[in-house]
Amino acid sequence: MGVYINKGNSDFRDIVAHEYVDKSSLIPRINAMLNSENRYSCVTRCRRFGKSMAAKMLCAYYDRSCDSRELFRGLEAEKDESFGTYLNKYYVISIDMTDFTTRYRNEKDIVKRIQSRMIKDVLDVFPQINAQDDDDLMEILYRISESTGERFFMIIDEWDAILREMGSDEYITTSYVDLLRRLFKGSGSNTVFAGVYLTGILPIKKYNTESALNNFREYTMIRPGKMAKVLGFTHEEVEMLCRKHDMDMNEMESWYDGYRIGKASRIFNPYSVMRAIDEEEFGSYWTTTGAYDSVITYIQMNYEGLKDDIIRMLSGEHVYVDTTEFSNDMRVVRSKNDVLTVLIHLGYLAYDGDAQACYIPNKEVADEMNNAIKATTWVPLVKTIQNSKALLEATVSGNEQAVSKGIDQAHDEHTSILSYNDENSLACVLSVAYIWARNEYVIHREYATGKGYADLVMIPRRNVSKPALVVELKFNHSADTAIDQIKRKEYPSKIAEYTGNILLVGINYDKETKQHTCKIENLH
């Protein structure tokens, strides 16, 4: 068994020996592209979305040095007609770039190190090949293919680790990109490789408007194509896990759901789902594994409109983003759109391709964003969150005057994103004013009741001992009118399964005085 070639199937064997959610549908998709012009694939997702597991699965499937048929028994891939054709068919070269960035972080010639170590491993398997001192990796692989007729399947896990972690050194980045071009864009590349599979966080870097490796099919967080469901957990898969382990599906959704990846409208973070099951407790797991400082750096960049957009997303809104400007380089961020696009690739924002809009997907990410904001120099935004916390306490305690004053303050402070005297925009006042409430409540805007739509319904999260809130906003009427509408249209009946206390909150905005009034009643 080699270090980089003929690694065998032991890694995947360990995975399937424990609780494995079947993602082997990736295999037929890759099989369909082998030995064609589409043989080069790059699948990028945020951290802990199953990229490395997929790479280990492909290694086990294609590696000819082992017999993996039993490992795939009963899995989805086995049902495809191509399964037996390519099972354990190729010499597989599989590397994880983070191994090199960890070991050679401070070495200028890291790319030479990568080549020399891989050459040694390949020549151990093919000792009959006469290698010259000045041969690079591609020359040796080409000589092997020419003399034996064999083709390789190559896997590079975390392909962009060098660019992300050592990208400030132009010599290293240029050397690395040149190596990739030499391997995958040379005249002999199709002779050497039956298929190539890269994983990473960032898509392939653009130079001007063109990808450095424009022969690769890319499947990203923004444009996942047919790879939408092969990484991450689908809603159906998580439902199955919740039934099996007696976990609350509603809580699982609020904590880890929300990623819309292409046609897969409900994708969960798999790492966090499995940690919650293992720990038998919901919490922030995925966000503790990432680069917290980088999020702080990005969100406090002083680009026009960025702070307003962050506020809107924290309050549950979606904001437009142009993702086409980004050069796929985390060190080259020139605009608000670049910041939002980076955060989409990192998983801190989700992306709706139909609406070309981004948003905060779930409570886990919202908690991390709140923590990041507290660590920034955004004093006004930090103050907004503090005021929102005080507003929720005032609402729960029935302090109508304090609630009126708090919503007035939120309206005044955020006129850049909220239009005064616009009835449709006034609903956004509530979302911004109650930003903090998302930490303790599941919030529904325009909540369907059968007799209309409640402006805002807030149901406390599990283990939160606070009342549910049904909020109605009126324009140039009265707070009493808002309360009457809640009762008349029976808005609380829709949450009858909620057995705790329910507060009715009526809020009116007066166009002339530009003031809000509030009425709060206990539902009896």
pLDDT at 333 over 80: yes
The DSSP letter of residue 466 is S
| CATH code for position 433 | 3.40.1350
Q: What is the pLDDT of residues 286-316, one digit of tens each?
A: 766 555 567 778 877 878 888 888 888 888 8
pLDDT of residue 329: 86
Q: Give me the helices (H) in 133-209, please.
A: 137-148, 161-166, 170-184, 189-192
Q: Which of 333, 350, 374 is the last residue of a domain?
A: 374
Rg (CA), the chain: 27
Confidence category of residue 447, pLDDT binned at 50, 70, 90: low
Is 152 in the same domain as 37? yes
Tokens standing for 135? 């041969």
Would you say residue 4 lies in a domain?
A: no
Is 35 in the same domain as 154? yes
Tokens standing for 508? 């009116």
Name the nearest CA neighbour of 173 among 160, 184, 182. 160
Tally of domains in the chain? 4
| Mean pLDDT value across residues 150-178 | 92
The DSSP letter of residue 39 is -
pLDDT at 453 over 90: no
| Mean pLDDT value across residues 144-166 | 94
Is 115 in the same domain as 23? yes
DSSP state string for 401-414: HHHHHHHHHHHHHT
Name the nearest CA neighbour of 414 among 401, 398, 430, 402. 430
Would you say residue 3 lies in a domain?
A: no
Burial 199-223 (b: 16+ CB within 10 A, else e): bbbbbbbbeeeeebbeebebbbbbb
Q: Flag the least confident range among 27-31, 179-183, 284-288, 365-369.
A: 284-288
Would you say residue 416 lies in a domain?
A: yes
Is 391 in the same domain as 363? no
Is 17 in the same domain as 58? yes
| CATH code for position 100 | 3.40.50
Would you say residue 2 lies in a domain?
A: no
Q: Which of 199, 227, 255 is the last residue of a domain?
A: 227
Is 284 in the same domain as 216? no
Would you say residue 263 lies in a domain?
A: yes
Is 41 in the same domain as 96? yes
Q: Which of 374, 406, 427 is the last residue of a domain?
A: 374
Maximum CA extent, the chain: 90
In order of 3, 10, 410, the CA distances from 14 in angstroms are: 17, 6, 53
Average of per-residue pLDDT values in the chain: 88
CA distance 122 to 132: 14
Is 254 in the same domain as 359? no
Would you say residue 1 lies in a domain?
A: no
Is 52 in the same domain as 123? yes
Q: What is the pLDDT of residues 23-76, one digit of tens each?
A: 999 999 999 999 999 999 999 999 889 999 999 999 999 999 999 999 999 999
Is 88 in the same domain as 140? yes
Give the residue carrying structure tokens 């940690």. 275
pLDDT at 456 over 60: yes
Return the SS3 of 504: strand
Predicted TM-score (pTM) of the model is 0.87
Give the residue carrying structure tokens 């939120």. 410
Is 238 in the same domain as 223? no
Would you say residue 166 lies in a domain?
A: yes
The DSSP letter of residue 5 is B
Confidence category of residue 449, pLDDT binned at 50, 70, 90: low
CA distance 419 to 302: 23
Range of the domain at 327: 290-374
Name the nearest CA neighbour of 52 among 98, 92, 6. 98
Q: Give me the helices (H) in 63-133, please.
A: 83-86, 97-103, 110-125
Is 318 in the same domain as 414? no
pLDDT of residue 514: 82
Q: Give the residue, 224 or 436, on which the prediction is more confident.
A: 224
pLDDT at 410 over 70: yes
Q: What is the pLDDT of residues 461-475, one digit of tens each?
A: 877 889 999 898 888
Phi, psi (5° rounding) for residue 447?
-80, 115
Q: What is the pLDDT of residues 254-286, one digit of tens each?
A: 899 999 998 887 899 999 999 999 999 998 887
Would you say residue 248 lies in a domain?
A: yes
